[in-house]
């Protein structure tokens, strides 16, 4: 098993564990990741997901031995497999935090970018080094990276294949925060618990509004926001949240 999933108090912690290969992605790892995403989606007790890696890597790319002999058709299938799973992760209804503990290269940077929030340890290293192998990023790197850091910086990363430390990743906007390595998972779990303490539907619809509106013209995106804003009032959450605020107590979220 390459993927371990634990949950506690509304938060699931998914650890990618293939340390002998720096957690590099192969078919089995991707299939296990896909199944773990399904489990998180189905589990109503899980409100936030945190993803990290075991050992000194988050995910150090895809398994190079697996890719070297690809035919064009096999390469297409591999790209579609990875893109499909990361798109599922990006659009899962619950917030996802990447706790990037170490090397996040190639598919590792692409995995982190599919998460909603990225927190890096001060030992994290990012990069899209595919060109050094005569390849291009195939799990969404050429598309998510410019949306996060701008086309100029994305092209620099994709064309040079250089590695970037956590401070550089923070400066370019690739990660939200950098924390000491020994504090990383605890910091991300605390953030996850803070998110989980808010209205479940409110958080879900906030994510849907941001993801759904990113590629829309502003006028259409604002219409989407209005639709989702009104939708949340079909749940108990606005009434409970406002009552709790006025009564100076913690809200009690229940099923809508």
What residues act catalytically? 110, 130
For 22, left (φ over 0), alpha (ψ -120 to 50), or beta? left
For 11, 53, 77, the CA distances from 82, given in Å and listed in that order, are 25, 18, 9
DSSP assignment of 77-132, as one string?
HHHHHHHHHHHHHHH-SS-EEEEE-SEEETHHHHHHHTSSEEEEETT-EEE-GGGG
For the chain, state the CA radius of gyration.
19
Q: Residue written as tokens 């706790």?
A: 99
């Amino acid at each position: 098993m390459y993927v371990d999933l634990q949950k506690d108090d509304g938060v699931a912690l998914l650890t990618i564990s293939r340390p002998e290969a720096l957690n590099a992605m192969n078919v089995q790892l991707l299939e296990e990741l896909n199944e773990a995403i399904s489990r998180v989606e189905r589990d109503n007790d899980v409100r936030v997901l945190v993803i990290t890696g075991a050992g000194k890597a988050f995910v150090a790319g895809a398994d190079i031995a697996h890719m070297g002999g690809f035919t064009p058709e096999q390469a297409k299938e591999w790209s579609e497999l990875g893109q499909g799973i990361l798109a599922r992760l990006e659009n899962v209804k619950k917030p996802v935090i990447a706790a990037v503990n170490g090397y996040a290269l190639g598919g590792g940077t692409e995995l982190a970018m599919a998460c909603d929030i990225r927190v890096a340890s001060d030992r994290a290293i990012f990069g899209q080094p595919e060109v050094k192998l005569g390849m291009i990023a195939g799990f969404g790197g050429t598309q998510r990276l410019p949306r996060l850091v701008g086309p100029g910086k994305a092209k620099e990363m994709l064309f040079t294949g250089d590695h970037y430390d956590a401070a550089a990743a923070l400066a370019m906007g690739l990660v939200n925060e950098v924390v000491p390595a020994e504090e990383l998972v605890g910091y991300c779990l605390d953030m996850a618990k803070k998110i989980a303490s808010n209205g479940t539907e409110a958080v879900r619809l906030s994510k849907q509004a941001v993801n759904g509106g990113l590629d829309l013209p502003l006028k259409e995106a604002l219409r989407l926001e209005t639709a989702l804003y009104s939708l949340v009032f079909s749940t108990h959450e606005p009434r409970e949240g406002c009552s709790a605020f006025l009564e100076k107590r913690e809200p009690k979220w229940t099923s809508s």
